[in-house]
Amino acid sequence: MKKLLALSVVSALSFPVFAEHNTINGMDFGPLAQLVGTWKSVDAGGVDVAPAKEGSGQEAGAPAVTPFFEKMTFEVAADAENASDQYLVALYYKQEVFRKVDGSKFHDQRGYFIYDAKNQMVYNSFCVPRTTCVTAEGKAGNTMTLIAPERGVAESSYMTEKASTTGFSMEIHIEGNKLTYSQNTLLDIYGKSLSHTDGSTLIKVK
């Protein structure tokens, strides 16, 4: 989970250009259509700032900084209708994040980006293998702010007691073959209210 960071922009490199479009198989995916494919970190990678663990050599809850690189894949999932009124189309995505220091994976996220064309809304609904799932929502566009509503987080009773997620927000910007995001997860952990943040820039590779 993640943070609102200032992100470096890599402009000197040359990458292939992918056309923007919003229709897939006759269905309107709005700005999400641009995401279909595989994305990888630019050379600079990203930065994760999480509360330090007990026994880590830092005070529990102090900022622990982890530079990372990642891979994200997006593919068309299915459409759905809610309450006979809301029509949705969805992209399934997989996000894998690796420590730059040794290449080990430390974050695995599976979920859906979902588009409501009628109301021009986008949803990011995902789970991580910490018994926590989140849904965030916001207005559709190439630049979006997605925020978890009041009931947007589901978690186990253990997490509610020990490391509860109390808020989540995400900024995402899609520009041609470049995807930039930053995230901020608010936590109640170690008897404190703390943030777990990260951000990265990725390039579409296929």
Specify the pLDDT at position 26: 80
Specify the pLDDT at position 51: 93
Answer whether 123's CB lies under 8 Å from 135's CB. yes
Identify the H or E element spanning 51: strand 46-51
Query: pLDDT above 70 covers what percent of the chain?
Result: 90
Fold of 23-204: Lipocalin (2.40.128)
Looking at the predicted structure, is the pLDDT value of residue 5 above 50? no
Looking at the predicted structure, is the pLDDT value of residue 117 above 90? yes
Specify the pLDDT at position 68: 96
H, E, C per residue of 82-127: ECCCEEEEEEEEEEEEEECCCCCEEEEEEEEEEEECCCCEEEEEEE
User: Per-domain residue ranges for the chain?
Assistant: 23-204
Burial classification of residue 182, based on how many CB atoms lie within 10 Å of its CB (0-12 exposed, 13-18 middle, 19 or more buried): buried
C-alpha 56/C-alpha 63 separation (Å) is: 11
Answer whether 103's CB lies under 8 Å from 79's CB. no
Question: For 96-122, what is the mean pLDDT?
Answer: 96
Looking at the predicted structure, is the pLDDT value of residue 119 above 70? yes
Instruction: Give the mean pLDDT of the chain.
Output: 89
Contacting residues for 46 by C-beta, under 8 A, at least 6 apart:
7, 67, 68, 69, 70, 97, 198, 199, 200, 201
Structure tokens at 3: 């943070």
Tell me the CB-side half-sphere exposure of residue 131, using CA atoms within 13 A: 10
Q: What is the pLDDT of residues 10-61, one digit of tens each?
A: 333 333 444 345 878 788 999 999 999 999 999 889 999 999 999 888 999 9
Specify the pLDDT at position 2: 38
Structure tokens at 64: 């622990």
